Amino acid sequence: MSEWWSVVAVFWTLYLVDGVFFGRRERLFLSSWRGEWRWRFWRRARVTQSPRTAHLAQASWHISPPFPWAYTLALDDLPASFAAEGFTNWPGAATSRPPPIPDSPSAASWGTAVKIGTDGPWITLGGSRFAPVTNALDGRALRELIERLAALDPGRRESEINTWHTRRFSVLRARRRLGAGMARTRGLVWMNTLQFAGWIALSVALVRGIFDPGLPFGSAGSWRWLEPEQIRWWAVCGWLFLMHFVVLGVAWRLHGKLHPLRTSERANLIFSALLLPAQAMRLRAALLGPLAQGIAPLAATLAAGTPETARVAAASTLRDLEFPVRPTGISETVSGFADSAAGLIRPAVEKALADAAKDGVAGLSAAELLAPPANLGAGVCAYCPRCGDGFLRADGQCPQGVKLRPLDRFNAVL
Ligand SMILES: [Zn+2]
């Protein structure tokens, strides 16, 4: 063991820390450890096909898989609902559990003049907090949407909202966008994989004492000639340094091409990457992140998740649509708008499930996804159709306020 092990430990800790996402609120993270390595990496022809290897997790922080070829995508449910009558910050058809329920539910009709602004991480409506700024919706997007929808008559508005959701939930569009993003960042992945190999080799050489960077300097600090076996390790160091700057240059250019308007984000990204060991996972997440804007988590998961992840996300979204949380105490306007908005999302969700099922993801039919859970235990005569918990009495509500369903009656209907 050489004394360099602490330097190596600090380096790899920084490498891992660089892949950590922190946030004030919970988000959905679609990430894959083996990325597209398994088969896409080598077959360029299949760029539009997404790898079905990703898993979905919900958390306020997330650590990216520590391999250059892995990827992470932060996704958000829409923190608002749009109905023909008006809009509210009560979410509809949310994939996350719990869904992004607001601290103070509010609603506004299309006719009323409302001032939409942004206050730090919040979208404000008439000065008070409406919804968090997310990848799904920010202040500007909400303002544009409201201006566009308010000008239409109710019938036109309904079809416009429906079209908007169909785009958000389109599996084909999600696959195309994510596939294009993956293809664009593939060069970066290659370079980072080479770097990764170099860092591992260098770490092993340092820890085992094969390479000693202190060696060229004598005990009195005077320069000595390099020993021949050390020269190649210094060459590896030089090459890694060079690669570091090449990777950052490539990331800078790609970011400029993919997201030309996000100049300050680009500067921050490259500056922070300069100071930490360059790694593809964060650069890639930053490059892919904005592409996920306007894509519903369900669409992204159906496009790139494993079949099991896709089914979990589909069931969760469908249950939120069919058995939404409407606690006593929320105003009738809010729950009315949310119910009517859910009706406008339903066709888009159904289309997404049908498209994914056609694509080979089995078990995506509504009947299967909404079926009562099996093996609820002895004496259970009712269940909550939303959370799947079993209950010993047939009437009443689950703690979330969802009406229970008797088990026998449901089975008899089937
Ligand atoms: Zn429940």
Split at pLDDT 50, 70, 90, the class of 399 is confident
pLDDT for 337 beyond 90? yes
**Torsion of Cα atoms, 203 then 65 then 195 then 282, to 10°:** -120
Say how many Å lie between the CA of residue 129 and the centre of ligand 1. 28
Spatial distance between the Cα atoms of 131 and 88, rounded to a whole number of angstroms: 10
Sign of the dihedral defined by the CA atoms of residues 298, 303, 304, 308, in that order = positive
Split at pLDDT 50, 70, 90, the class of 46 is very low
* Encoded tokens for 33: 């450890």
What percent of the chain stands above pLDDT 70? Answer: 89
Say how many Å lie between the CA of residue 146 and the centre of ligand 1. 33
pLDDT of residue 408: 67
pTM of the model: 0.86
Burial degree of 367 (CB within 10 A; 0-12, 13-18, 19+): exposed
Say how many Å lie between the CA of residue 391 and the centre of ligand 1. 10
Residues with CB under 5 A from ligand 1 (ion): 384, 386-387, 398, 400, 402
Say how many Å lie between the CA of residue 389 and the centre of ligand 1. 6
pLDDT tens digits, 183-210: 888 888 888 888 889 999 999 999 988 8
Say how many Å lie between the CA of residue 25 and the centre of ligand 1. 22
The interaxial angle of helices 5-17 and 186-207, nearest 10 deg, is: 160
If we measure between CA atoms, which residue out of 347, 401, 348, 339 comes closest to residue 88? 339
Say how many Å lie between the CA of residue 300 and the centre of ligand 1. 26
Q: Which positions ≥6 away from 3 have C-beta within 8 Å? A: none
Say how many Å lie between the CA of residue 377 and the centre of ligand 1. 17
Say how many Å lie between the CA of residue 91 and the centre of ligand 1. 17
Say how many Å lie between the CA of residue 400 and the centre of ligand 1. 5
Say how many Å lie between the CA of residue 32 and the centre of ligand 1. 30
pLDDT tens digits, 341-351: 999 999 999 99
Say how many Å lie between the CA of residue 398 and the centre of ligand 1. 5
* Domain boundary assignment for the chain: 5-75+176-292, 81-169+297-366, 373-414
Say how many Å lie between the CA of residue 393 and the centre of ligand 1. 14
Spatial distance between the Cα atoms of 73 and 338, rounded to a whole number of angstroms: 28
Say how many Å lie between the CA of residue 390 and the centre of ligand 1. 9
Say how many Å lie between the CA of residue 374 and the centre of ligand 1. 16
Task: Return the minimum-mean-pLDDT range out of 21-35, 218-232, 248-262.
Answer: 218-232
Say how many Å lie between the CA of residue 28 and the centre of ligand 1. 21
pLDDT tens digits, 338-377: 999 999 999 999 999 998 888 777 778 888 888 888 777 7
pLDDT of residue 1: 58
pLDDT for 110 beyond 60? yes
Say how many Å lie between the CA of residue 57 and the centre of ligand 1. 20
Say how many Å lie between the CA of residue 101 and the centre of ligand 1. 16
pLDDT for 323 beyond 80? yes
pLDDT for 331 beyond 50? yes
- Bridge partners of 107? 88
pLDDT for 264 beyond 60? yes
Q: Which positions ≥6 away from 313 have C-beta within 8 Å? A: 56, 95, 297, 298, 301, 302, 305
**Through-space distance between the first and last CA atoms of the chain, rounded to whole angstroms:** 68
- Quick one: DSSP state of residue 402? P
Task: Return the minimum-mean-pLDDT range out of 227-231, 266-270, 399-403.
Answer: 227-231
Split at pLDDT 50, 70, 90, the class of 329 is confident
Q: What phi, psi does 22 have (nearest 5°)? A: -120, 150
Q: Residue 115 in contact with residue 127, Cβ under 8 Å?
A: yes
Mean pLDDT for 75-87 is: 93
Give the CA distances from residue 294 to residues 75, 289, 302, 312, 345, in Å, rounded to whole numbers and listed in that order.
Answer: 10, 11, 15, 21, 14
Say how many Å lie between the CA of residue 385 and the centre of ligand 1. 7
Please report which helix (H) or strand (E) contains residue 105, including its range. none
Say how many Å lie between the CA of residue 366 and the centre of ligand 1. 18
